[in-house]
Chains A and B, each alone.
Chain A
Amino acid sequence: MNHSDKDKAHAPAALVEVSGLRVVASKDDGEDVVIVKDVDFSIARGEVLALIGESGSGKTTIALSLMGYARAGCHIAGGRIRIGQREVLSMDQAALEGMRGCDVAYIAQSAASAFNPARTLMEQVIESALNHKTMSRAAAQAKAIGLFRALALPDPEHIGARYPHQVSGGQLQRAMAAMALITDPELVILDEPTTALDVTTQIEVLRAFKNVVKEIGTTAVYVSHDLAVVAQMADRIIVLRDGSVREVGATAQILTAPVNAYTQSLLAAAVPAMSLPTVPVSSHAQETVQAAQQEPLLRIRGLIAGYGSPDSKGLPGVRILDDINLKIERGSTIGIIGESGSGKTTLARAVAGMIAPARGSIMLDGVPLSPTLAGRSREQFRRIQIVFQNADTALNPAHSIGRILSRPLAFYHGLSGQAMHKRTVELLDLVQLPANVINRLPGELSGGQKQRANLARALAAKPDLILCDEVTSALDTVVAAAILELLAELRRELQVSYMFISHDISTVRAICDDIVVLYAGRMVANRPREAMMAPPYHPYSHLLLSSVPALRQGWLEQVSGRTPEQLPPIGEVTESADICAFLPRCTMRIDGVCNTVPPRRRNMEHGGEILCHRSDADLQRMQLPLVPVEGVTI
Chain B
Amino acid sequence: MKPAHESSASVTATPVIAVKKKARKGRSWLGLIGLAIVLFWLAMALLGPSISPYDAGAIVDVDVFSGISSKFWLGTDYLGRDMLSRILFGTRYTIGLALAATLLACSVGTAIALFAALTGGWVDALISRVLDALISIPSKMFALLMVATFGSSVWLLILTAAITYMPGSYRIVRSLAVNIQTMEYVQAARARGEGALYITCVEMLPNMIGPVLADMGLRFVFVVLLLSGLSFLSLGVQPPDADWGSLVRENISGLGEGATAVIMPALAIAMLTIGVNLLIDNLRGKRARKD
Q: Report A's interface with B, CB cutoff 8 A.
A: 1, 3-4, 7, 24, 26, 28, 30-34, 37-38, 40-41, 244-246, 248, 260, 352-354, 373, 376, 378, 381-382, 385-386, 388-390, 393-399, 407-408, 411, 457, 461
Say yes or no: A31-B19 contact (C-beta < 8 A), given A373-B193, A394-B188, A396-B203.
yes
Chain B residues, CB < 8 A from A396: 185, 203, 206-207
A242 to B288, CA, bound (A): 27
Kindly identify which residue among B1, B2, B184 contacts A388, using a CB–CB cutoff of 8 Å.
Answer: B184
Flag whether B16 is at the interface (Cβ < 8 A).
yes
- What's the Cα separation between A633 and B185 when bound, in Å? 36
Q: Which residues of B contact A352 (CB under 8 A)?
A: 191
Residue contact B16 to A33, C-beta cutoff 8 Å: yes
CA distance A41 to B1 in the complex (A): 8
Q: What 5 A-B pairs have minimum CB-CB distances, sorted nearest first?
A: A381-B193, A398-B206, A394-B184, A244-B9, A388-B184
Residue of B nearest to A348 (CB): B191
Residues of B contacting A31 in the complex (Cβ-Cβ under 8 angstroms): 16-19
Contacts of B194 in A (CB 8 A): 411
**Assuming A30-B20, A33-B16, A396-B203, is B10 touching A386 (CB within 8 A)?**
no
Taken residue by residue from 193 to 226, chain B's Cβ proximity to chain A (1 for < 8 Å, 0 otherwise) reads as 1100000000100110000000000000000000
Q: Which B residues from 1 to 55 make CB contacts under 8 A with A?
A: 1-3, 5-6, 9-10, 12, 14-21, 24
Q: Please, how many angstroms separate the alpha-carbon atoms of A397 and B190 in the complex? A: 17
For B17, the closest partner residue in chain A by CB is A32
Contact A354 B191 (CB under 8 A): yes
Contact partners of A32 in chain B: CB under 8 A = 16-19
A24's nearest neighbour on chain B, judged by CB, is B17
Query: If the complex has contacts A26-B19, A378-B193, are A388 and B14 also in contact, measured as CB distance less than 8 A?
Result: no
The answer to whether B192 has its CB under 8 Å from any CB of chain A is yes
How distant is A340 from chain B, measured CB to nearest CB, in Å?
Answer: 17
Contact A353 B183 (CB under 8 A): no
Contact A393 B183 (CB under 8 A): yes
Contact between chains at A37 and B190 (CB < 8 Å): no
Given A354-B187, A376-B193, A381-B193, are A30 and B18 neighbors across the interface (CB < 8 Å)? yes
Can you name 5 A-B residue pairings with CB atoms under 8 Å?
A: A30-B18, A30-B21, A30-B24, A246-B10, A399-B206
A388 close to B190 (CB less than 8 A): no
Q: Tell me, in angstroms, the Cα distance from A461 to B20 when the chains sit together.
A: 47
Partner of A395, one of B2, B12, B20, B185: B185
Q: How far is the CA of A376 from the CA of B5 in the complex (A)?
A: 62
List 8 extra interface pairs beyond A386-B188, A398-B207, CB under 8 A: A30-B20, A33-B14, A33-B16, A40-B1, A246-B6, A381-B192, A394-B188, A411-B193
Decide yes or no whether B289 CB sits under 8 A from chain A: yes
Which residues of A are found within 8 Å of B21, using beta-carbon distances?
26, 30
Report the minimal beta-carbon distance from A498 to chain B, rounded to whole angstroms. 16
A397 contacts B207, C-beta separation under 8 Å = yes
CB distance from A18 to the nearest CB of B (A): 11
Chain A residues with CB under 8 A of B6? 244-246, 260
For the complex formed, measure the closest distance between the CB of B120 and the CB atoms of chain A, giving whole angstroms.
Answer: 14
Q: Which of B9, B19, B207 contacts A37 (CB 8 A)?
A: B9
Q: How many residues of chain B get a CB closer than 8 Å to chain A's CBs?
A: 31
* C-alpha gap A396/B204 in the complex (Å): 9
Most buried by A among B15, B18, B188, B289: B188
> Are the CB atoms of A4 and B185 closer together than 8 Å?
no
Closest to A395 in B: B185
A32 to B9, CA, bound (A): 18
**What is the CA–CA distance of A398 and B207 in the complex, to the nearest angstrom?**
6
Q: Which residues of A contact B206 (CB under 8 A)?
A: 396, 398-399
Residues of A within 8 A of B193 (CB): 373, 376, 378, 381-382, 411
Render B167-185 as a binary contact track against A, CB cut-off 8 A, 1 for contact: 0000000000000000111
| Distance (whole angstroms) from the CB of A377 to the closest CB of chain B | 8
A477 to chain B, nearest CB (A): 20
Q: Write the chain B residue with the least CB distance to A28.
A: B289
Q: Which residues of A contact B191 (CB under 8 A)?
A: 352-354, 373, 381, 385-386
- A385, B109: Cα distance in complex, Å: 34
B167 CB to nearest A CB, Å:
27
Chain A residues with Cβ below 8 Å from B15 are 34
* Minimum distance in angstroms from A6 CB to a CB of chain B: 11
A393-B184 in contact (CB<8A): yes
The answer on a CB contact under 8 Å between A388 and B187 is yes
Among B14, B15, B191, chain A packs the most CB atoms within 10 A around the CB of B191
A352 to chain B, nearest CB (A): 5
Residues of chain A lying within 8 A (CB to CB) of residue B17: 24, 31-32
A583 to chain B, nearest CB (A): 35
Please measure, in the bound complex, the distance between the C-alpha atom of A386 and the C-alpha atom of B184, giving whole angstroms.
10
Given contacts A354-B187, A354-B191, A393-B185, contact A248 B19 (CB under 8 A): no
Closest chain-B Cβ to A390's Cβ sits at a distance in Å of: 6
Which of B1, B14, B19, B24 lies in contact with A245, CB distance below 8 A?
B1
Shortest A464–chain B CB gap in Å is: 15
In the bound complex, what is the Cα–Cα distance between A260 and B190 (angstroms)?
Answer: 47
B residues within 8 A CB of A34? 14-15
- Among A28, A30, A260, A411, the most chain B Cβ lie within 10 Å of the Cβ of A30
| Measured CA separation A186–B61 after assembly (Å) | 87
132-188 of chain B: CB within 8 A of chain A? 183-185, 187-188
Task: Report A-chain residues with C-beta under 8 Å of the C-beta of B18.
Answer: 30-32
Taking CB atoms, residues of chain B closer than 8 Å to A28 are 289
The reply to whether A354 and B184 form a contact with Cβ atoms under 8 Å apart is no
Which A residues touch B203, using CB under 8 A?
Answer: 396
